[in-house]
Structure 1
Amino acid sequence: MEAIKQRRIQIILIAGIAVLAAVIVIGSQILTNSPSSGSPFARYANIPQERLPDGGFLLGSADAPVTLVEFADFACPHCQEYAPEIERFVDEFVASGKAKLEYRLFISGADPTYGPYTARLAECAAEQNPDSFFPAHDVLFQIGRAQGRFNDQTARTLADRLDLNYSALLNCADKADQFQADGNLGVSLGVQSTPTLMIRFGDAKPQFIQVGGQTYDRGGVPYGILKAIVDSVQ
């Protein structure tokens, strides 16, 4: 039965992607040119956020049938470029309860200093305010795209944008280590670079996305494919 279900999803994906292609391109252009919301919290105001038993960060309704699992590094240029697609996924599917987003802090080595440091800052934002992780996620990627790299003022900027206690944020960042657990998980699943996206159906183990004989085991996945996957399980 599982094999039949997977084949059905494959057929739906292949058929749906061609139809969606023009719409996706136009939509991407519109969103790319749209200004971001003034408050980093606005996107997530009505979406549940929680920590998983192993410390991972989860966004979305518990009833959503599918979870997009992203392994990414705030200091990774490709992750920074792909971040608007994740924001779009949240707006279209997570906010509507159709899907969840699970974020994993996976250090790529793009910046050996600020890769781990920004991962610690995001974790520590959530330590101060459990609703701050995903807003911190957005702010850090925005900083990375705007500046090209992080610096010693990144923590101050993050604290100001999210109304966090700056001193407490720095103290927490000295010992935060969720990125180590997430890194170990990623390696065990075959993750080798960032960004890497996987799909979890229900409570099953995350799996790489496969469409038309192609396995997306690294890099950003085209938005049309993500949309087709979510639509196929509703």
Structure 2
Amino acid sequence: MPDRPTTKDARREAAREKARQMREAQARAKRRNRVLAISAGAVALVLVIGAVAFGISRAGGGEPAATPPGVTADGGVVLGQADAPHTVTVFQDYQCPVCKAYEASVGPWLKEQVDSGATKLEYRPISFLDAQSSGTEYSTRAANAAFCLAGQPGVDFYAFNTAMYLEQPAEGTDGLTDSRLVSIAQSAGGDIGTCVASRTYDDFVAERTEAAFALTDSSGARTVQGTPTVFVDGQLLQNDQGGAPDQQALATAIGVAG
């Protein structure tokens, strides 16, 4: 008659079986984690490749975007006499309601100072409010239109800039149509139909917007944190609340009567 296992043998066998099951479970977990790690790495690589490809497509194969004729490398549209002693620089987004109010408040006075030779006026269109135009990228389209116009001879860029704010669409709407942007430019003496249709300077707009928000002062603090942001002769000028300066502050900065 075969020997019957004792209780002690049964416990030992049960322990061995439990250990075997645990080893197999650990092996399965290790294999599963290895597969997950490989999969996660593959996904990450795809995302990186996608991001690089998108960046290249937006920036012309990794090369700097072409600078529009008549615009500084920094994205400035400069009005006034080349030998004017001062330069007032205004960073602006054509979708920005505060920019519209600011232009209405100090724009005409600044134009007078430009015409008198007291200062140059440099507009720097940027676009960070595309999300406020129902997916039509109005900020980018408007800035592109400005750059399309700026290099054309005989245009009145100040008139274009003023009209863009007078017709500024409400936030959350589609923004002005491309045909309307072309019409505003025509009224200012320019023809930008092809340039607007092809979005010629979209990459330049994106580049200059990124560069604007990367600007810092001597302490490393960011100087452009929204629009409008105003510099006089390269120095940030703000009011007591950290906003754009009023007419009197600008007058003091360039040494003329307010």
Q: Does TM, scored on the shorter chain, surpass 0.5?
A: yes
> What does residue 127 of structure 2 align with?
107
Supply the distance in 2 between the matched residues of 1:158 and 1:51 (Cα, whole angstroms): 19
Deviation digits for residues 43-99 of structure 1, max 9, x if unmatched? xxxxxxx53244421111222222111110011111111112342233331111111
Letter in 1 for 2:251: K
Letter in 2 for 1:151: L
Q: Does structure 1 retain, via aligned residues, the 8 Å contact 2:87–2:119?
A: yes
> What does residue 58 of structure 1 align with?
78
Classify 1:228/1:163 alpha carbon distance in 2 versus 1 (closer, same or farther; 3 Å): closer
For the residue of structure 2 that corresponds to 1:198, the secondary structure is strand
Q: Does structure 2 retain, via aligned residues, the 8 Å contact 1:70–1:102?
A: yes
Which of 228, 237, 251 is residue 195 of structure 1 equivalent to? Answer: 228
Same amino acid, percent of matched pairs: 26
TM-score for the superposition, normalised by structure 2: 0.58
Q: Does structure 2 retain, via aligned residues, the 8 Å contact 1:60–1:97?
A: yes
Supply the distance in 1 between the matched residues of 2:124 and 2:101 (Cα, whole angstroms): 17
Classify 1:70/1:167 alpha carbon distance in 2 versus 1 (closer, same or farther; 3 Å): closer
Letter in 2 for 1:155: L
> What does residue 220 of structure 1 align with?
244
Greater RCO, 1 or 2 (C-alpha within 8 Å, sep 6+): 1
> What does residue 210 of structure 2 align with?
184
Classify 1:54/1:127 alpha carbon distance in 2 versus 1 (closer, same or farther; 3 Å): same
Which of 107, 123, 127 is residue 87 of structure 1 equivalent to? Answer: 107
> What does residue 180 of structure 2 align with?
154
Which blocks of at least 5 consecutive residues in structure 2 are unaligned? 1-69, 216-221
Count of paired positions: 174
Q: Does structure 1 retain, via aligned residues, the 8 Å contact 2:75–2:124?
A: no
Aligned-pair CA distance for 1:124: 1.0
Q: Does structure 1 retain, via aligned residues, the 8 Å contact 2:71–2:150?
A: no
For the residue of structure 2 that corresponds to 1:181, the secondary structure is helix
- Asked whether 1:122 is paired with 2:143, we answer no
Q: Does structure 2 retain, via aligned residues, the 8 Å contact 1:124–1:172?
A: no
Q: Does structure 1 retain, via aligned residues, the 8 Å contact 2:95–2:138?
A: yes
> What does residue 167 of structure 1 align with?
193
Which blocks of at least 5 consecutive residues in structure 1 are unaligned? 1-49, 201-205
Letter in 2 for 1:186: A
Classify 1:160/1:56 alpha carbon distance in 2 versus 1 (closer, same or farther; 3 Å): closer
TM-score for the superposition, normalised by structure 1: 0.63
Aligned-pair CA distance for 1:139: 1.5
Supply the distance in 2 between the matched residues of 1:172 and 1:129 (Cα, whole angstroms): 21
For the residue of structure 1 that corresponds to 2:167, the secondary structure is helix
